[in-house]
Structure 1
């Protein structure tokens, strides 16, 4: 198990390196002129850079054991987003769509996010229902406006917007299939302060 984990970690770093190189070319030599990111602002790719970038991120490491179990030969590229707004997410999605459009084999895009955090069970479910309803309408801008308007603390909002807009640009965003919903209270947690979770398939 330890050997497999080590191999998976090395493959992840290699895949992240490949993506960083592609995005560096995209941002600094292509679209970067419009985005306003000088070449010197993008660190050179390498293991130390990756470790620093993802040091405080946990959504990716939570997914890796599941992927190792369900798809042990999968190659994984993790992207962590720290801050931004709808316009920046659109810029990122445009670049990511360009990168994916150039690939013959299209990857599976997975969004890792919780829904609302730390409200009561009833209030959390109410806010989660609002967010899920917006997601089902397949409009990234509406998801963004809805979460801000209702103060829904969806921690993976930005990657959600990026992936939805990327799929839209690739003409791959037509349906949404909810596959599960629950809160931390379902696992025996405190009903006075819960976190919401959902599974959805977009295509």
Structure 2
């Protein structure tokens, strides 16, 4: 019997019932036709509650849908729980969300693990982690619209640096070529986490000025991402003591994209949680980015 990974955050990060479809339809009301060009190699999408970051995430998936859905999404997210292997590829089975089941591409996941010098096949790291789960309803909704079956390879990262990015980006590229698999890499990340809730207040500003200051810090990192500059991105993060939570996934997406022939990156949307909450106790930045051949 195939292993089933049950949802951990349905009903909290995103709706668990019919309201989920309504929310996705609202986010994707401007969706164009399903494409077949397949220029997009990777995307960056946030993983906060949909009320805060869902629209921003939808911009990444809208672009991928209109470009053409791949066979498999390799989704990398930070490991917030600390459980399991530091670099954990979900081995096999299916992930369940309120929209149904989506199959894990076990063959590709196993190939990535073999070609990587650091990754393990491990389900424990994924059991309660939200950063990958929140991406799945977007993928399932659009796969249903396109009438196409897609699979996933979930990878949870407890270690995130340049070496991890280079290793995984190359392993994903080589594994996809070895198996002839059409792949899009998704880097699940939020950007700056500011405020006393996070114990991080690197600068002071009036409430109305804070989102602008946070955007300035985030855009120092985003500029490096748009330049495919993995080492520059990590250098900016360290110099600012920046609190972006998923840089390893973004670095992996850049390395993979470079190897897959991507020539440009595009920022599709940026916002902060302040636009919804109006709270300065916790402000988080969100960005939607795609890489294209």
Bin of the TM-score, shorter chain as denominator length:
0.7 to 0.9
SS at the partner of 1:83?
coil
Question: Take 2:113 and 2:290, find their aligned partners in 1: how far apart are those partners?
Answer: 30
SS at the partner of 1:165?
helix
Select 1:54's aligned residue among 96, 102, 126.
Answer: 126
TM-score by structure 1 length?
Answer: 0.78
- The answer as to 2:267 corresponding to 1:178 is yes
Question: Take 1:65 and 1:97, find their aligned partners in 2: how far apart are those partners?
Answer: 25
Deviation at 1:21, TM superposition (A): 2.0
Task: Write the mapping of 1:99-178 to structure 2, written as runs, cut at 5 A.
Answer: 99-119=175-195, 120-172=210-262, 174-178=263-267
- The answer as to 2:66 corresponding to 1:66 is no
Deviation at 1:179, TM superposition (A): 0.8
Question: Take 1:183 and 1:78, find their aligned partners in 2: how far apart are those partners?
Answer: 26
Question: Take 2:281 and 2:160, find their aligned partners in 1: how far apart are those partners?
Answer: 31
Question: Take 1:148 and 1:184, find their aligned partners in 2: how far apart are those partners?
Answer: 23
Change beyond 3 A, Cα 1:129–1:105: same
**Partner residue in 1 for 2:173:** 97
**Partner residue in 2 for 1:31:** none
**Partner residue in 2 for 1:187:** 276
Question: Take 1:84 and 1:183, find their aligned partners in 2: how far apart are those partners?
Answer: 23
CA contact 1:116–1:128 (8 Å) conserved in 2: yes
**Partner residue in 2 for 1:32:** none
Q: Gaps (5+ residues) in structure 1?
A: 28-34
RMSD of the alignment, in Å? 2.5
Deviations 1:40-72 (A, max 9, x none): x95xx5xxx42x121242111101111121223
Change beyond 3 A, Cα 1:131–1:69: same
Question: Take 1:168 and 1:102, find their aligned partners in 2: how far apart are those partners?
Answer: 17
Deviation at 1:85, TM superposition (A): 2.3
Q: Which has the higher contact order (CA 8 A, sep 6+)?
A: 2
Change beyond 3 A, Cα 1:25–1:71: same
More helix by share: 1
CA contact 1:121–1:192 (8 Å) conserved in 2: no
Change beyond 3 A, Cα 1:111–1:24: closer
Question: Take 1:4 and 1:20, find their aligned partners in 2: how far apart are those partners?
Answer: 20
Change beyond 3 A, Cα 1:121–1:106: same
Question: Take 2:137 and 2:224, find their aligned partners in 1: how far apart are those partners?
Answer: 30
Task: Write the mapping of 1:190-201 to structure 2, written as runs, cut at 5 A.
Answer: 190-201=279-290
- The answer as to 2:75 corresponding to 1:75 is no
Bigger mean CA offset, 160-169 vs 79-88: 79-88
